[in-house]
Amino acid sequence: MLPGKKIATLISVNTAFMLAVVKLIGGVLTGSVSVLASAVDSILDIGSSTVNYFAIKQSEQPPDNDHRYGHAKFESLASLIQAGVITLSGLYILYEAYARFESGKAVKSIEGGIWVMLFSLAVTFFLVIFLRKVAKKENSSILKTESLHYEIDLLTGGGVLAGLVLVKVTGINAIDPFISVLIALKTVYSALVLGKEVSEDLVDKALDEDDLKKIHGVLNQYNCVIVGWHKLRTRKAGTEKFADLHVQVNRHLTIEDAHTIADMIEKDIAETLGGADVQIHIEPCEGECAHKACTLCDTEIRNEINRLKSK
């Protein structure tokens, strides 16, 4: 029996914790900077898997009095802080590598380092297999990202291993800090990409072109019952999408019919975006608007509404 999404991320957190401890001890005992850098990477994995755990937990939480738009942005905020910490850790690895180049100290026990990395690679390999299975079963995008994240760790871990083997074969100690520099740069880069992404959420960036086109598409379908629309605003919080807009209808409509149209559009936009919070402000057309919707009589509009409903 495969466990659920939340349990899967908890298993990730515990695996990352175990690997971090093994690599930290291994890195200090063997004196290998690249193993130490890999330990820092695992510490960050604890962080990111924890964020994913809470993201999954939060997404199940309803809005409360203090947060009427839900809690999804807590995830973005946590990710931003995490990105800051990851950046600092990357800079710390660079500093350590620099100190090693300067001092020219050798790795104390290459064999020890190799064993630590072999163990870590094996554990990560089984974690990836496990995460992929749960992600497939639950069709969860967060778990797919999580699994991808650990696949990349397999690559960097393989790099560290290859570096240590090369040091053993060639006797060139500088290979060890050099590999740690590569890991540091990759770490800082990932952190900055993550930081930029969640920042866009936090400053209420509009949805991307694809989503906007989908919204326009839905609105076009309602051409025959609405006069026009404007002031479309969109933003998102984690996986939650928000949209609000003004829709103009024939000014002789009753509020009941106008509201039916608004609710149908809201539902359609939400569906086409794969779930969204849509808020429509209904307005009457001004003066003698020549648009089709305004020349239809009430019965015709009701027929149109029924036709759209039955689609």
Contact set with a second copy (CB under 8 A) = 63, 65-71, 73-74, 76-77, 80-81, 84, 199, 202-206, 232-235, 237, 244, 249-256, 258-259, 262, 279-284
CB 184, CB 97: distance < 8 Å: yes
d(CA 254, CA 202): 39
Q: How far is the CB of 272 from a second copy (least distance, A)?
A: 19
Q: Taking the complex as a whole, how short is the minimal distance between the CB of residue 253 and a second copy, in angstroms?
A: 5
Q: What is the DSSP letter of 27?
A: H
For a second copy, the closer of residues 91 and 123 by Cβ is: 91
Give the separation between CA 296 and CA 144, rounded to whole angstroms.
50
Element (H, E) at 243: strand 240-249
Sole residue written with tokens 């930081």? 195
Closest CB 103 distance from a second copy, rounded Å: 21
CB of 181 to a second copy, least distance (A): 23
Of 5 and 235, the one with the shorter C-beta distance to a second copy is: 235
Nearer to a second copy, 167 or 207 (CB): 207
* CB nearer a second copy, residue 70 or residue 113: 70
DSSP H or E run through 233: strand 228-237
CA 124 – CA 153 distance, rounded (Å): 8
The answer to whether residues 206 and 212 touch, using CB atoms and an 8 Å cutoff, is: yes
Nearest CB to a second copy, comparing residues 68 and 311 = 68
Question: Nearer Cβ to a second copy, position 28 or 77?
Answer: 77
Query: 186 near 156, Cβ under 8 Å?
Result: yes
- Give the shortest CB-41-to-a second copy separation in angstroms: 21
CB of 219 to a second copy, least distance (A): 16
Distance CA 71, CA 230 (A): 28
| Contact indicator for 156, 51 with CB cutoff of 8 Å | no
Q: How far apart are CA 179 and CA 194, in angstroms?
A: 23
